[in-house]
Structure 1
Amino acid sequence: MDNVALVKPTIELKKQYLEFYTEWKESGEVMIPWVIEKDPSDFEAMLAFIENNSKGVNLPEGWVPDSTYWLVDSEKNVVGAVNIRHSLTKNLLNAGGHIGYGIRPSARKKGYATQILALSLEKTKELGIEKVLVVCDKGNIGSAKTIIKNGGLPDKDFIEDDGNVINRFWIYNT
């Protein structure tokens, strides 16, 4: 597997990000984390939105500051994205967690998910988050394995109003 790094979204990676975004959009799959659903047609505005969220500026009611990073390989291809919430609301405690991440469809099953979560845990340390909540849908076996591989300890599941079961895991950042 290529050397990978988490980087802050930048204009220099516009072409690579648009390739990432387009591939995911064309797959028809749910875009995870939520922030990659943001329309990148005004790329500078999207970058400003991401930067403002990390600083807690202009957040919608009930939102918490969050940091977004892109996982890039040695050729600067964007292979994944992660969104790290700086704190948890009641809803995030039940079903969102601190870290939401996703790997582009063509890059899955190559170890990138394990890498992005491990690198994200380093970012949570920098934020002073010692007990990190990571969640996934009960049917997402690959994600559950990735979380456990990164030290995730199962906690009580949460059942959403529509019956979807959310597996909840805590990772101690020591």
Structure 2
Amino acid sequence: MDMLRLVKTSSEQKEHVLALLKEWQEDGSNIVPTTINKDTSDFDAYVKRLRDAEDREKIEDGWVPSTTYWLTDGEELLGAANIRHELNAHLLNFGGHIGYGIKPSVRGRGLATKQLGLALEKAKELGIERALITCNQTNIASKHVILRNGGVPDEPFIEADGTVVERFWIELKG
């Protein structure tokens, strides 16, 4: 796991990104972060959309700048993380600063814990001093990942449909 790192999206990753998305789709589980679950038929446009999201001038109203990274061991893509550079009212309750996911075939190996740790380092580089991470109350694995990375529970948010979203803060100062 020492070789794990986060890398930004590039056109050279096409086969690896498509393989990762295909595995997730075949598994039937939610693709997280949702930023990667977009049309890839024009892969260069897919890459451009992900990279443009980092620039406030190029994002849609109501969105915040964000950076998408892929978790890799140097050979394959294992998951993805999306770091929102700031929070809006929606993200304060649901989504937080970082969304992350590990592809189905490699879950349960501690990769998400390492991935979130790496994403927190990137968030700190962006100037985020206190990161909000959220997960549905039913997502026990994600809750443990957040807690292992120093998450301190805050008041949960209850969505209109009754879904309870747990909220955790992680200090990044120092």
Q: What secondary structure is seen at the aligned counterpart in 1 of 2:93?
A: helix
Q: Do the aligned residues in 2 keep the contact of 1:9 with 1:68 (CA within 8 Å)?
A: yes
Distance, in Å, in 2 between the alignment partners of 1:13 and 1:74 is 12
Distance, in Å, in 2 between the alignment partners of 1:47 and 1:65 is 15
- 1:112 offset after TM fit, Å? 0.7
Q: Do the aligned residues in 2 keep the contact of 1:54 with 1:65 (CA within 8 Å)?
A: yes
Q: How many residues align?
A: 173
- 1:29 offset after TM fit, Å? 1.3
Residue aligning to 1:19: 19
Do structure 1's residue 73 and structure 2's residue 36 form an aligned pair? no
Distance, in Å, in 1 between the alignment partners of 2:156 and 2:5 is 31
Per mean C-alpha deviation after superposition, the further-off stretch among 51-60 and 22-31 is: 51-60
Q: What secondary structure is seen at the aligned counterpart in 2 of 1:35?
A: helix
- 1:2 offset after TM fit, Å? 6.2
- 1:61 offset after TM fit, Å? 1.6
- 1:3 offset after TM fit, Å? 1.9
Distance, in Å, in 1 between the alignment partners of 2:46 and 2:25 is 16
Q: What secondary structure is seen at the aligned counterpart in 1 of 2:54?
A: helix
Distance, in Å, in 1 between the alignment partners of 2:53 and 2:18 is 21
The alignment's TM-score, normalised by the length of structure 2, stands at: 0.96
Q: What secondary structure is seen at the aligned counterpart in 2 of 1:134?
A: strand
- 1:157 offset after TM fit, Å? 0.2
Distance, in Å, in 1 between the alignment partners of 2:13 and 2:62 is 31
Residue aligning to 2:9: 9
Do structure 1's residue 140 and structure 2's residue 142 form an aligned pair? no
- One-letter identity of the residue aligned with 1:104: K
Q: What secondary structure is seen at the aligned counterpart in 1 of 2:74?
A: coil
Distance, in Å, in 1 between the alignment partners of 2:68 and 2:57 is 14
Per mean C-alpha deviation after superposition, the further-off stretch among 82-91 and 51-60 is: 51-60
Q: Do the aligned residues in 2 keep the contact of 1:67 with 1:83 (CA within 8 Å)?
A: yes
Per mean C-alpha deviation after superposition, the further-off stretch among 86-95 and 31-40 is: 31-40
The alignment's TM-score, normalised by the length of structure 1, stands at: 0.96
Do structure 1's residue 85 and structure 2's residue 80 form an aligned pair? no
Residue aligning to 1:40: 40
Residue aligning to 2:106: 107
Q: What secondary structure is seen at the aligned counterpart in 2 of 1:54?
A: coil
- CA RMSD between the two structures: 1.0
Q: Do the aligned residues in 2 keep the contact of 1:2 with 1:74 (CA within 8 Å)?
A: no
Partner deviation per Cα, 1:42-88 (whole Å, 9 max, x = no partner):
1100110011101123322210000000001132x110000000000
- 1:12 offset after TM fit, Å? 1.6
